[in-house]
Amino acid sequence: MREFTTEHRLGDADTAVVFMSALFAGGWIWDHPYRSLERAGVPVLRTNEPICGLDRRLAGSIERLGDALLDACDAAGADGQVVVCANSLGGLVAIDLAGRRPDRVRGIVVSGAPGLSADPDVGLSFDRRGSIRPTGEDFGRRMVAALFHEGCHFSAERMAEAGELLARPESMVSMARSLKATRAYRVPPALDKVTCPALYVWGRHDRMTPVAPWAEALAGRDGHELLLVEDSGHIPMVERAEEYTAALTSFVAGTGAGTGAGTLA
């Protein structure tokens, strides 16, 4: 079974900031915040593989993905507490992991998580085998429009990389399994179990996973803070990297992560 590999720089602190890759984008979506915290001396780790690049049995389970993330942390030496930063499907993994493993999860930072709104129409269709295939010549345009508020913030190289991944039948099956798991996941009961500090950094113009139902679900929950990023869609850590990193840096300092290792303490 193919599982996560990681890039990491860990120090002596007992808490690492862990960045989880997204459904079809690898750890590179975290370049800005990862490098910023790394320069500050905070222990950091990010997974390399996009979720749909993993084995279908792993990609199709929110719980298994969370366990695999902790396994990857342990293998790298980040076997203490973690602050989990995740986008989209990874956001559900972070929420679930915080509820199941409060001994390991010190805080979560979630963006663009699904589970509270209908799937957007981006030109994907299921077939009888339970896999997915892109349809129509405008698939790329529709996907970019769903991901970003304005323009495309992925390089041509990254777009080609994603296209190659989506052309693999096994990746499409893993994606289908992931989306099925997302639809079956019950978000409100999962939020009830989160006791660690939680920051939700949402693009105000997220068309993939609109913020309104999340604002309603989070209202009145102690320890859960919602921050809206202006002029941003589904991927604020890319589209508005400076704003996202500033919010993350403040949150990490508040959790005490990196104490004794860097300037955020």
- pLDDT grade for 261, boundaries at 50, 70 and 90: very low
Helices 156-166 and 169-184 pack at an angle, to 10 degrees, of 90
Cβ-count burial 100-133 (b if 16+ within 10 Å, e if not): bbeebbbbbbbbbbbbbeeebebbbeeeeeebbe
Q: How far is residue 23's CA from residue 80's CA, in Å, rounded to a whole number?
A: 26
- Is residue 42's pLDDT more than 50? yes
Tell me the whole-structure pTM to 2 decimals.
0.88
What is the mean pLDDT of the segment spanning 233-252? 95
> If pLDDT is split at 50, 70 and 90, which confidence band does 25 have?
confident
Q: Residue 142 is which amino acid? A: R
Q: Is the pLDDT of residue 223 over 80?
A: yes
**CA neighbours closer than 13 Å in the CB half-sphere of residue 211:** 22
Residue 263: per-residue pLDDT:
46
- Asked if residue 182 has pLDDT above 50, the reply is yes
Q: Domains, the chain, ranges and CATH?
A: 6-117+178-255 (3.40.50.1820)
Q: Residue 216's pLDDT band (boundaries 50, 70, 90)?
A: very high
